[in-house]
């Protein structure tokens, strides 16, 4: 079988790679990944002030710019060979259910970025879509059928955030159809790992649960509040697997303008997730359930048939192992914050 192509196989080391949202979790990890592979010209962009970026990678051109402004997107894309657009105003369920307007306004970022990338003559354009683009009526049971790529239509995406992703996907598809720009679209399913948001309202379930277990250990109050009834189900992908998948998708000609799932297909309930983290923390907690907290759809899983077939990609990191690394990192962040040091969230 032919090996999948990656950036290292198709780019020169001095080709310019532009990565947006790089002050955040996934794009920050992507900038580090390309830098470690020896790419010499990486332009990382985020609207956050530089001292608030989750990771700053040495040798990477790091720029603070708001990419909802057209002129900034033009500057961002100047000279780009490849553009990875991961900038979005987003967070976990607590954020995307409450701030739908902010989520929808991310359409400005993709609208201007894709046009700027096109005029700059970028060879490839990557867009980070989401499992939230899928039809929500297929996700009303915790025991869901895994979502395959065709399940986004007929459309009934998650209000706000999901519709923005679906619309931006369509931009990517039309820039290929009408203008022959090579675009690539991955639908991420819950990504977690070190250097992700772990506090402050935008964090997602794995990080929030790790933090709550760490807080319970620290305070001696062995209790945890779980959003909803804890029976809602999801699948979770470790950051390294996500980065590897992005590189493979971006360099696969068969996937031009073709949305593809990038996630784990191991379905777990939030209660199961809590049990795994309790085990890592060496503690058992009394669970309190908050029925009024935002929970999103009842269940969501990734059908990986297509990605296995095209790329032979499967997530390599078991949930227990990925959570262990995430838990250790959040513990350190928690301790650093207590000691008055700077932390990610």
Q: Which residue is nearest to ligand NAD (CB)?
A: 24
Among 62, 197, 235, 301, binds ligand NAD (CB under 6 A): 197
Q: How far is the CB of 45 from ligand NAD (least distance, A)?
A: 6
Pick the closer one to ligand NAD by CB: 88 or 323: 88
Residue with smaller CB distance to ligand NAD, 216 or 333? 333
Residues within window 299-338 making contact with ligand NAD, judged by CB under 6 A: none
Compute the CA torsion angle 287, 138, 104, 149 (nearest 10 deg).
120
Applying CB under 6 A, among 23, 193, 245, 315 the residue interacting with ligand NAD is 23
Nearer residue to ligand NAD within complex by CB, 54 or 216: 54
Q: Which is nearer to ligand NAD, 32 or 204 (CB)?
A: 204
Closest to ligand NAD by CB, 131 or 216: 131
Pattern of binders to ligand NAD over 51-90, x per CB under 6 A?
A: ---------------xxx-----------------xxxxx
Q: 296: which 2 tokens?
A: 């999103």
Q: How far is CA 100 from the centre of its chain?
A: 18
DSSP 245-264: HHHHHHT-GGGTT--EEES-
Q: How many residues bind ligand NAD (CB under 6 A)?
A: 26
Please list every residue from 94 through 113 that binds ligand NAD, using CB under 6 A.
Answer: 109
Q: Distance between CA atoms of 182 and 122, rounded to whole angstroms? A: 9
Residue 182 token pair: 């090579």
Strand 191-192 and strand 82-85: pairing? unpaired
Q: Name the one range near ligand NAD by CB under 6 A: 46-54, 224-232, 296-304, 332-340.
A: 46-54
- Contact segment (CB under 6 A) with ligand NAD among 25-33, 135-143, 273-281, 311-319 equals 25-33
How many residues in the chain?
A: 345
| Of residues 172-191, those binding ligand NAD (CB under 6 A) | 188, 190-191
Binding-site member from 7, 11, 16, 25 for ligand NAD (CB under 6 A) = 25
H or E segment to which residue 85 belongs:
strand 82-85
CB-wise, 56 or 217, nearer to ligand NAD? 56
Closest separation in Å from C-beta 314 to ligand NAD: 18
Inter-CA distances, 243 with 35, 96, 125, Å: 13, 23, 15
Place of tokens 């949305």: 259
Q: Is 289 a catalytic residue?
A: no
Coil, strand, or helix at residue 111?
A: helix
Smallest distance from the beta carbon of 91 to ligand NAD, in angstroms? 7
**48 lines the binding site for ligand NAD (CB under 6 A):** yes
Alpha carbon distance 172, 186 (integer Å): 11
Contacts of 343 (CB under 8 A, 6+ apart): 333, 336, 337
* Of 84, 134, 161, 195, catalytic: 161
Report the DSSP pairing between strands 268-269 and 233-234.
antiparallel
Alpha-carbon span 165 to 73, nearest angstrom: 19
Instruction: Give the whole-angstrom CA distance, residue 79 versus residue 57.
Output: 21
User: Three-state SS for 63?
Assistant: strand
CA–CA separation, 236 and 1 (whole Å) = 28
Site string for ligand NAD, 124-153 (x = CB under 6 A): ----x-x-----------------------
Q: Which residues are marked as active site?
A: 161
Residues that bind ligand NAD (CB under 6 A): 20-21, 23-27, 46-48, 66-68, 86-90, 109, 128, 130, 188, 190-191, 197, 204
């Amino acid at each position: 079988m032919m090996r999948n192509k990656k950036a290292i196989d198709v780019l020169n080391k001095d080709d310019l790679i532009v990565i947006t949202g790089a002050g955040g979790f996934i794009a920050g990890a992507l900038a580090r990944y390309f830098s470690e592979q020896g790419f010499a010209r990486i332009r990382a962009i985020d609207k956050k002030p530089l001292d608030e970026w989750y990771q700053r990678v040495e040798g990477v051109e790091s720029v603070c710019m708001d990419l909802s402004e057209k002129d900034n997107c033009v500057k961002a894309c100047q000279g780009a060979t490849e553009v990875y657009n991961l900038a979005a105003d987003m967070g976990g369920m607590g954020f995307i259910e409450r701030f739908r307007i902010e989520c929808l306004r991310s359409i400005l970022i993709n609208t201007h970025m894709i046009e700027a990338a096109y005029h700059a003559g970028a060879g490839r354009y990557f867009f980070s879509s989401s499992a939230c683009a899928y039809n929500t009526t297929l996700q009303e049971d915790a025991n869901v059928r895994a979502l395959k790529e065709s399940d986004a239509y007929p459309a009934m995406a998650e209000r706000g955030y999901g519709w923005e992703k679906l619309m931006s996907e369509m931009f990517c598809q039309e820039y290929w159809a009408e203008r022959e720009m090579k675009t690539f679209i991955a639908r991420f399913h819950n990504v977690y790992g070190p250097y992700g948001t772990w506090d402050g309202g935008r964090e997602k379930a794995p990080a929030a649960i790790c933090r709550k277990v760490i807080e319970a250990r620290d305070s001696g109050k062995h209790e945890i509040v779980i959003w909803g009834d804890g029976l809602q189900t999801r699948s979770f992908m470790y950051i390294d697997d996500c980065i590897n998948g992005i590189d493979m998708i971006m360099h696969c000609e068969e996937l031009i303008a073709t949305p593809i799932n990038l996630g784990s297909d191991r379905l777990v309930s939030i209660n199961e997730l809590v049990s795994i983290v309790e085990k890592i923390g060496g503690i058992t907690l009394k669970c309190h359930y908050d029925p009024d907290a935002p929970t999103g759809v009842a269940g969501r899983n990734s059908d990986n048939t297509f990605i296995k077939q095209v790329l032979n990609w499967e997530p390599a990191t078991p949930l227990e192992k990925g959570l262990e690394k995430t838990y250790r990192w959040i513990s350190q962040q928690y301790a650093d914050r207590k000691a008055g040091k700077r932390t990610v969230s």
